[in-house]
Amino acid sequence: MSDAAARAEQIARASYGKLVAILAARDRDIARAEDALATAFAKALASWPRDGVPDRPEAWLITTARHAATDSWRRDARHDPLDEVPEMQTETPHPIPDDRLRLMFVCAHPALDRGVHTAMMLQTVLGVTSERMARAFQLRPSTLSQRLVRAKTKIKQAGIAFELPEADALPARLGAVLEAVYGAYAIDWMVPDSAGDLTREALFLSDLTAQLCPDEPEALGLAALIAFLAARHEARLAGGMLVPLHAQDTDLWDHDMITHAAHVLTRASRLGQPGRFQLEASIQAVHAARAQTGRTDWRALSQLYAGLLHVAPSLGAEVARAAVVAEDAGADQGLALLDLIAPECIARFQPYWATRAHILRQLDHPDAPEAYAKAISLCTEPPLRRWLEAERDALIH
């Protein structure tokens, strides 16, 4: 990759949401803004290697995208061909994080379908593709794309403003923003050998949201949760193979980040309003304690997962609880919990089959190889596949 191409990619990662927000600020047509920006990046990849990277690359991209938007307006029969894209500031008075958060809160507008909030933010602000999101959300890409198109059309037609809501309206939208930031991290987590771009975005945005809403315990809880998880990034792989949490070398963890996460979680707990992200952060805090104690407190994890299932039930939490109960109370107890999950829920849920295979292996059950085969067949990420194959091969041989 040339230096110019690398610079364009860097700007795309760091400033995509900001640039879309600026371009769509006047007419609120996110789809047109995204198309115009894509054209600008294509032209950058063609001209920057030849002419050099401009002194102000973001301004160059905005100007080029505006020209593309103007051409689009002129071609659109719904608009007067004499219309021009109105002048908008290339440089906003707000730092990039505020532009990005502003657009995220727009995407969390109550007029939009709640089911599309997270996908809108991930695509519009962070540039995550529909295909990548669809894999994470277990949806068809075409289905997700249709939902996004409808949401963007509604933003334009309803004239939804690109501005942060008043302070008293923040809580109503905050939950959707937190879900999207967590979604960004989760998508990256599913690709253990990724460059970690979305992890860095999630860390940054969760910290920023916590600063914006310092009295919102779940905002603090999410910031703590992502920090705990990101602190283990360097320990997740060894030789291109996934290293499960219980086997990770704690010396490779970022202990300063863990200390920061624990501090933020303590701030959240003092507010006395427990919630999903605080419980998930507490679960990760128990895992982090192994660096000091040398052991995992499985009983504490079992109790925390029970609390999580009460506050925010999910298939993932059910499977995770079964895994920790197997460690705490015995593999047969963990297997019993897995057997309670409805078959139609787990047919293509890879973590279920990986967990079932592990528990069956602990029980020397003859069905363990079949469970490993099912988990491997549903696995799309090479590091995780290699680990599962190694576990299966060790069982067979």
Across the range 306-321, mean pLDDT stands at: 97
Q: Buried (b) or exposed (e) across 67-102, using 16+ Cβ within 10 A?
A: ebbeebbeeeeeeeeeeebeeeeeeeeeebbbbbbb
The residue behind tokens 């962070």 is: 126
pLDDT digits (tens, 9 = 90+) for 102-152: 778 877 888 777 878 888 888 777 777 777 787 777 677 777 788 888 877
Q: Which residue has the higher pLDDT, 318 or 150?
A: 318
pLDDT over 90 for what percent of the chain? 46
pTM (2 decimals)?
A: 0.78
Q: How far apart are CA 314 and CA 226, in angstroms?
A: 19
Q: Does position 93 have pLDDT exceeding 60, yes or no?
A: no
Residue 147 backbone phi and psi in degrees, to 5 = -65, -40
Of 26-40, 51-65, 67-81, 214-228, which range is least confident?
67-81
pLDDT digits (tens, 9 = 90+) for 140-195: 777 778 888 887 787 777 777 666 667 677 788 899 999 999 988 888 776 655 55
Residue 385: CA atoms inside 13 Å, Cβ hemisphere, count?
9
Q: Would you call 382 helix, strand, or coil by DSSP?
A: helix
The class that CATH gives domain 314-396 is mainly alpha
CB 324 within 8 A of CB 301: yes
- DSSP secondary structure code for residue 110 in this structure: T
- DSSP secondary structure code for residue 90 in this structure: S
CB 151 within 8 A of CB 28: no
Local confidence band at 92 (pLDDT 50, 70, 90 cut-offs):
very low
- H/E stretch holding 8 reads helix 3-24
- Single-letter residue type at 188: D
Residue 13: CA atoms inside 13 Å, Cβ hemisphere, count?
15
Q: What is the pLDDT of residue 91?
A: 44
Query: Within 10 Å of residue 294's Cβ, how many Cβ atoms?
Result: 8
* Residue 251 burial (C-beta neighbours within 10 Å; 0-12, 13-18, 19+): exposed
Q: How far apart are CA 113 and CA 350, in angstroms?
A: 28
Q: Does position 14 have pLDDT exceeding 80, yes or no?
A: no
Across the range 57-65, mean pLDDT stands at: 87
Across the range 331-346, mean pLDDT stands at: 96
| Best mean pLDDT range from 22-26, 36-40, 153-157, 192-196 | 36-40
Across the range 259-285, mean pLDDT stands at: 97
Local confidence band at 351 (pLDDT 50, 70, 90 cut-offs):
very high
Of 8-22, 170-184, 206-220, which range is least confident?
8-22
- Single-letter residue type at 343: P
Q: What is the pLDDT of residue 84?
A: 38
Q: Does position 359 have pLDDT exceeding 50, yes or no?
A: yes
Q: How far apart are CA 205 and CA 101, in angstroms?
A: 8
Across the range 317-339, mean pLDDT stands at: 98
The residue behind tokens 């460690």 is: 327
Q: Buried (b) or exposed (e) across 264-281, using 16+ Cβ within 10 A?
A: bbebbbebeebbbbbbbb
- DSSP secondary structure code for residue 116 in this structure: G
R_g of the chain computed on alpha carbons: 23
Output the average pLDDT for the chain. Answer: 84
Across the range 18-44, mean pLDDT stands at: 79
Q: What is the pLDDT of residue 161?
A: 65
Across the range 33-39, mean pLDDT stands at: 84
pLDDT digits (tens, 9 = 90+) for 373-388: 999 999 988 999 999 9
Across the range 298-317, mean pLDDT stands at: 97
Every domain of the chain and the residues it spans: 3-73, 314-396
Q: Does position 229 have pLDDT exceeding 80, yes or no?
A: yes
Of 70-74, 114-118, 256-260, 299-303, which range is least confident?
70-74
Fold of 3-73: Rna Polymerase Sigma Factor; Chain: A (1.10.1740)
**DSSP characters for 148-164?**
HHHHHHHHHHHT--SSP
Q: How far apart are CA 34 and CA 72, in angstroms?
A: 12
Q: Buried (b) or exposed (e) across 299-316, using 16+ Cβ within 10 A?
A: ebbbbbbebbeeeeeeee
CB 283 within 8 A of CB 228: no
